[in-house]
Amino acid sequence: MQKITLIRAGLIAALYVVLTYVLAPVSYGPMQFRISEALTVLPVLYVEAIPGLFIGTLVANMLGGLGPWDIFGGSTVTLVAAWLTYKSHSLIIALIWPIVLNAIFVSMYLSFLYNVPYWLTVVSIGISEAAVVFVVGYPLLKILQRQKI
């Protein structure tokens, strides 16, 4: 891995952790608005975003207090979504992966842990994920594409 690639992966991981933890009151739980999820668009541009997002999610979820379900479950969902985002040939499909996978799979354990109806959690996570990806992540992606960073 080239030095710049490794640095970028580390920065993505660190930024994900900081954004999640600083905004902890809205970053965790069955009704969340995790701004750090805007970074899930980055595999469109950078393959190194895949391990960066995985490690960032892993560390952020270690700090979240929900234990192994969130640490391993949430991180695995992020890893799969990041890989699928990277592999997608369509931008819209690439942006939809983290929304759909988080809504379906993260909701499985959050609804159980918080005793909240599964479909309510799916809708809540899906709406917040879509808002973050399209309102924050998509413009970030466009800026990075223009700047060729």
Query: What residue segments make up the domains of the chain, in order of their start?
Result: 3-25+32-147
Over residues 86-145, the pLDDT tens digits come to 999 999 999 999 999 999 999 999 999 999 999 999 999 999 999 999 999 999 999 999
Question: Is 92 in contact with 100 (CB distance < 8 Å)?
Answer: no
Tokens matching residue 25:
């009151």
**Residue 64 phi, psi (nearest 5):** -80, -20
Rg (the chain; Cα; Å):
14
* CA–CA gap between residue 23 and residue 25 (Å, rounded): 6
Say what the pTM is. 0.94
Predicted local distance difference test score (pLDDT) of residue 43? 98
Q: How sure is the predictor about 4, in pLDDT bands with cuts at 50, 70 and 90?
A: confident
User: Considering only CA atoms, which of 58, 50, 59, 145 is closest in space to residue 98?
Assistant: 50
Query: Rounded to an integer, what distance in angstroms lies between the CA atom of residue 100 and that of residue 89?
Result: 17
Average pLDDT over residues 64-86: 96
Q: How far apart are CA 46 and CA 9, in angstroms?
A: 9
The torsion angles phi and psi of 88, rounded to 5 degrees, stand at: -70, 140
For the 3-25+32-147 domain, the top CATH level (class) is mainly alpha
- Measured distance CA(116)–CA(114) in Å, rounded: 5
Q: Which residues are CB-contacts of 143 (< 8 A; sequence separation ≥ 6)?
A: none
Q: Which amino acid is at 21?
A: Y
147: Cβ–Cβ under 8 A, 6 or more apart, which residues? none
* Residues 116 and 110: beta-carbon distance below 8 Å: yes
